[in-house]
């Protein structure tokens, strides 16, 4: 019997993806463990391995198809002795139109296919419109049904395009992204009853209005999966998580001297960055102040046994947070090597879900862009995120009362107040400051 290959769930939150590329074709022999396709999710492009063995009898979903639902059949394998004729196309049940019983018989009308609503008399129960059993489904209901991917529908809404006027180039005439992008843009039509809403109930701002921006004054670039996901998650976090910030200045001179000494003594292929040292310091501070290494859940507060540090990496179309797991027990060289590899593959969208999920704390560093200080939005379900600004020379009063130049960095710790109190956050910052200002403590 033919074996179905279905769209895999490549992460716990994945609902659909884009079938980017087939690495096999119909007629090819497939073995277990063989890479057969590439799937694009909102975070990365991932390879799909075959579980079963057989010959590719039919590819059900062409390469480039967007919005493929998890568990949808994407191809069929034939076992020995089977032929392509054994593969049956998915059966779509015909639309069943049932008559809705009315409280009273409805008088015949000139149109034999439709019985309209009978006006209610005073004090009488209202009649209900019914469909005659002879109603031709292809004349009305089917003609109104539009087969389009969710992304195509969203782009069409933003561009003010009537999907009925488009011809789909996807499987079975499905309207997909490229069909809508090539169509002539127009003003977005407001949803009935007010501003449009996302699937999770969040209101989308209605800014692409001809009264604000004329259509010829901007170029509309559709949202990709990553940017949509980032927008949704950060909006939810900002609206649903009670944030509060804590700020502190940290002197970097000792850390910079230690970094220079470490790099001078290290092999040529090892170069420790300031960010590597901050990752280590953050991890050790989380172990020291374990009440802060926590996440809020509906069942209780989850206190984590290890410091898994998520590091924000800017990529085209958004950002992603690869994780250094159990960072408290890793050496600086190991953290440095791992971080370089994760950042490189993040920009290529080649990370696996287990490499960017499971963090317990985040670091976002914009110091290299000259940003002095900023506050980040918490990355749920983590309880805190540290925003790191640029180190700069400032006038500082030293222990003797003299004014001296020191390299100072401002950091902001954003906390989830459901998990972290002000005092707990302050204790964590004190521990972090201690490790950064006395980096030799990281070696103890």
Residue 246 dihedral angles phi and psi, to the nearest 5°: -130, 130
Q: Does 417 qualify as catalytic in the annotation? A: yes
Q: Which of 243, 304, 306, 417 is catalytic?
A: 417
Q: What is the 3-state secondary structure (H, E, C) of the chain?
A: CCEEEECCCCCCCCCEEEEEEECCCCCCEECCCCEEEEEECCCCEEEEECCCCEEEEEECCCCCEEEEECCCEEEEEECCCCCHHHCCCCCCCCCCCCCCCCCCCCCCCCCCCEECCCCCCCCCCCCCCEECCCCCCCCCHHHHCCCECHHHHHHHHHHCCCHHHCCCCCHHHCECHHHHHCCCCCCCCCCCCCCCECCCCCECCCCCCCCCCCHHHCCCCCCCHHHHHHHHHHHHHHHHCCEEEEEEEEECHHHHHHHHHHHHHCCCCCCCCHHHHHHHHHHHHHHHCHHHCEEEECCEEEECCCCCEEECEEECCEEECCEECCHHHCCHHHHHHHHHHHHHHHHCCCCCHHHHCCCCEEEEECHHHCCCCCCCCCCCCCCEEEEEEEEEEEEEECCCCCEEEEEEEEEEEEEECCCCCHHHHHHHHHHHHHHHHCHHHHHC
d(CA 414, CA 144): 49
Kindly list the catalytic residues: 417
């Amino acid at each position: 019997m033919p074996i179905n290959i279905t769209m895999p769930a490549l992460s716990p939150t994945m609902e659909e993806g884009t079938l980017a590329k087939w690495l096999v074709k119909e007629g090819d022999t497939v073995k277990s463990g063989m890479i057969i396709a590439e799937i694009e999710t909102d975070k990365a492009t991932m390879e799909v391995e075959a579980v079963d063995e057989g010959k590719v009898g039919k590819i059900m979903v062409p390469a480039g198809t967007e919005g493929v639902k998890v568990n949808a059949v994407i191809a069929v394998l034939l076992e020995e002795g089977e032929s392509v004729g054994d593969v049956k196309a998915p059966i779509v049940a015909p639309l069943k139109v049932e008559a809705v019983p009315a409280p009273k018989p409805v008088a015949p009308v000139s149109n034999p296919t439709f019985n309209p609503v009978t006006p209610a008399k005073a004090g009488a129960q209202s009649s209900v419109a019914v469909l005659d059993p002879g109603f031709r489904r292809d004349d009305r209901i089917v003609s109104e049904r539009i087969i389009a991917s969710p992304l195509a529908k969203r782009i069409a809404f933003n561009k003010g395009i009537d999907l009925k006027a488009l011809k789909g180039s996807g499987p079975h005439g499905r309207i997909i992204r490229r069909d809508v992008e090539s169509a002539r843009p127009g003003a977005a039509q407001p949803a009935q009853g007010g501003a449009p809403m996302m699937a999770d109930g969040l209101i989308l701002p209605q800014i692409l209005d001809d009264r604000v921006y004329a259509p010829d004054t901007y170029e509309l670039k559709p949202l990709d999966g990553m940017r949509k996901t980032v927008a949704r998650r950060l909006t939810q976090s900002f609206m649903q998580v009670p944030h509060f910030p804590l700020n502190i200045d940290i002197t970097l001179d000792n850390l910079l001297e230690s970094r220079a000494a470490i790099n001078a003594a290290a092999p040529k292929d090892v170069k420790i960055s300031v960010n590597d040292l901050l990752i280590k310091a953050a991890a050790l501070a989380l172990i020291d102040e374990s009440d802060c290494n926590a996440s809020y859940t509906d069942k209780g507060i989850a206190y984590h046994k290890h410091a898994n540090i998520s590091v924000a990496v800017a990529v085209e179309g958004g950002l992603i947070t690869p994780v250094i797991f159990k960072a408290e027990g890793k050496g600086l060289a190991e953290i440095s090597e791992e971080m370089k590899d994760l950042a490189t593959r993040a920009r290529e969208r080649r990370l696996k879900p287990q490499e960017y999920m499971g963090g317990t704390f985040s670091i976002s560093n914009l110091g290299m862009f000259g940003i002095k200080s900023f506050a980040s939005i918490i990355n749920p379900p983590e309880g805190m995120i540290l925003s790191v600004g640029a180190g700069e020379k400032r006038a500082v009063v030293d222990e003797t009362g003299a004014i001296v130049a020191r390299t100072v960095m401002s950091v902001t710790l954003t906390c989830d107040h459901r998990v972290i109190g002000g005092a707990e956050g302050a204790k964590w910052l004190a521990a972090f400051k201690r490790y950064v200002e006395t980096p030799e403590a990281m070696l103890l």
